[in-house]
Structure 1
Amino acid sequence: MSITGGDFVELGRDLYAWLPPKRGWGLANCGLLTSPRGAIWIDTPYDPVLAGQFLAESTKRLPDGASIDRVIVTHANGDHFWGAGVLPDAEIIATREAREHIHYEPTPKQQHALVQGGDPATALGEYLKRHFGTFDWSQTEPVQPTTYFTGELELTLGEYPVQVSALPAAHTTGDLIVHLPAQRTVFSGDVIFASTPQQPGDHPVHWAGPLSHVIAACEQVLATGAETIVPGHGPVLDPAGVRAHIGYLEYVRDRAHALHAAGVPALEAARRVIGERRHPELGLAERLVVTIGSEYRQLDGSELPGVLQVMTDVAIVAQEVAAQELSAQEGE
């Protein structure tokens, strides 16, 4: 069964955010900026079904004669990128460094085969089916950016300036943020995973790092003076929400560094940080396996393992966390 729905929220003059109906892997926020001269998407949904829904809602908001002719991709994870295939004639803009992450991930069809053909008796097979089984990439061809840039890119859409800034490796190699000064809004991509008391989110997952770069990217978002921040996942934030997120990132960074200095292996370090339960409101605690593993690689220069090995470790830890939570509930 496919995921359907989502909220289309007006953020400012001719600017909208599409917010998925729930939290979880692969459910990314997207943006639409319109003008009589055309429109821009900021990121895309994960599969053609969700992308088609976003396109249908976007089309309702286009001025007569306008079309969506540009897509700005905040980074090359498929959940922000693969849906661009529903706009085959659009210019797709990404950082030059994003190429590296495109080659790291499986293609859409490879991922579809992996999810649908995995053995549910294994930790990895069960995890992939549970979290990714609702998406359909069976007919999705790989998407390639058409325009690469480094540094800063200044665009205009009608009367609106669009300021695109490449970032040092943070969430992935090849992140960027999009600042819309007329609307006092920034789309941050996955350097920010949002959570609020009213709308709890999930633990971030960072594939590149170091976390000092992620923190610096958050501070760069704040430095724009934007009043509205659309994260890669989770609810829309104000600057105070971004500062709270920086506090979370500093906690994870400091714990990773302390455990690394004590000689604790990365996987065990992730288990220990999960066990501290500093943020019990956040879901998908097993994603700390990825983030802490990335921070360890920055500290010791080790190589990035294959994505299947990383996700196998994530799946195993997810089973452990679920078992611990069940045991705690039965003991109450």
Structure 2
Amino acid sequence: MAKAFASQGDMTEKKITFDEIGEGLYAFTAEGDPNSGVIIGDDSVMIVEAQATPRLANKVIECVRSVTDKPITHVVLTHYHAVRVLGASAFGAQQVIMSNAAYNMVLERGQEDWDSEFQRFPRLFEGHESIPGLTFPTTTFSDEMTVFLGKRRVNIKQIGRAHTAGDAVIHVPDQNVMFTGDIVEDHSACYCGDGHFADWGQTLNNIKAYDVDAIAPGRGGALVGKDAVERAIESTRDFVQSTYLPAAKVAARGGSLKEAWDAVRAECDPKFADYAIYEHCLPFNVARAYDEARGIAHPRIWTAQRDLEMWEALQG
């Protein structure tokens, strides 16, 4: 009998912070839990990332109401993962925005991802009874789109694959601030189970080219100032490379998934063992790195059953 996923034992409530990272721009963070962003325009509010449940989304709304009474009209979802999108109904937004690629992934694997993440993250899915179903966008875009919140311009763009094939970033040019979703993390493990290792580094370069003054990352603390932004981008790059390269070496010589797991641990444990959700992400990261190195370009769909089979193989 395999031991439980690390995330299944993490039932401690996390401390919420709500940091202003630019004028009218906020990062909602919670000690390595999924972050959300808030963009306050002239007459309305945009939310970036909807949380896992309406219960958690209401915590974001409480923070929004501490700084503005303007209506929440837009929710932007940087990708399709259940812990990011299933709380969307709580906001009552007029528009729910996703890239076409992310929407297609909801159609392809949204229910399987929900079932898988529900098994992995019992704390995040407390109050799951209030989720009305899969979250579908009202608006999709290919490559990029612009939303105006009054005079405030918000650019939503796909700049490369990384955490998923559908990743989008949100840039607010008047403050030169970016919301990156899980492309960038800070002192938190990247979840690479649906990722594209070969593309991730160039996507980070594309973010770097914006030379932003602040980032709200997918997990971890708000990054204010160019030094903090640079540090997080490079630590994310190091994490991704340190995961992929040992697994690829094992795959190249025909080694097993368990051997890849051992090789990645040897490389990553000394550097990243204290990162948030490190132990949870590691088996999924190794499995995806091993697959990609063996030529499986399109990430295989995680299901609750596949999760358990992979975990048992690694423990055995």
Structure 2 length-normalised TM: 0.83
Mapped partners of 1:298, 1:109: distance in 2: 23
Mapped partners of 1:231, 1:35: distance in 2: 21
Q: 1:94 to 1:134 in 2, by over 3 A?
A: closer
Shift of 1:271: 3.0
Point out where structure 1 has 5 or more consecutive residues left out of the alignment. 116-127, 196-200, 321-332
State the match for 1:232 in structure 2. Answer: 218
State the match for 1:159 in structure 2. Answer: 151
**Structure 2 residue corresponding to 1:307, chosen from 303, 309, 316:** 303
State the match for 1:216 in structure 2. Answer: 202
| 8 Å CA contact retained: 1:82, 1:108 | no
Mapped partners of 1:318, 1:137: distance in 2: 30
State the match for 1:174 in structure 2. Answer: 166
State the match for 2:291 in structure 1. Answer: 297
State the match for 2:21 in structure 1. Answer: 11
**Structure 2 residue corresponding to 1:31, chosen from 37, 46, 58:** 37
Q: What is the number of equivalent residue pairs in this alignment?
A: 293
Q: 1:246 to 1:309 in 2, by over 3 A?
A: same
Mapped partners of 1:2, 1:240: distance in 2: 28
Q: 1:141 to 1:251 in 2, by over 3 A?
A: same
5 Å-filtered alignment, 1:39-58, equals 39-58=45-64
Provide the secondary structure at the position in 2 that maps to 1:192. coil
Provide the secondary structure at the position in 2 that maps to 1:99. helix
Matching residue's letter, 1:223? A
5 Å-filtered alignment, 1:22-101, equals 22-23=31-32, 27-63=33-69, 66-101=70-105
Q: For residues 96-119 of structure 1, what are the alpha-carbon distances to aligned partners after superposition, in whole Å with 9 as ceiling and x for unaligned? A: 01123324133798569x64xxxx
Provide the secondary structure at the position in 2 that maps to 1:28. strand
Matching residue's letter, 2:263? R
Q: 1:28 to 1:175 in 2, by over 3 A?
A: same
Mapped partners of 2:176, 2:313: distance in 1: 40
Q: 1:265 to 1:315 in 2, by over 3 A?
A: closer
Structure 1 length-normalised TM: 0.79
Provide the secondary structure at the position in 1 that maps to 2:137. coil
Matching residue's letter, 2:307? M
Deviates more, 1:300-309 or 1:218-227: 300-309
Mapped partners of 1:49, 1:166: distance in 2: 29
| 8 Å CA contact retained: 2:163, 2:195 | yes
Shift of 1:313: 4.9
Mapped partners of 1:89, 1:206: distance in 2: 30
Matching residue's letter, 1:307? T
Using the aligned pairs only, state the percent identity.
Answer: 20
| 8 Å CA contact retained: 2:145, 2:155 | yes
Q: 1:18 to 1:290 in 2, by over 3 A?
A: same
**Structure 1 residue corresponding to 2:282, chosen from 288, 294, 302:** 288
Deviates more, 1:7-16 or 1:184-193: 184-193
Matching residue's letter, 1:53? K
Shift of 1:2: 8.9
Pair 1:189 & 2:185 matched: no
Deviates more, 1:251-260 or 1:1-10: 1-10
| 8 Å CA contact retained: 2:168, 2:181 | yes
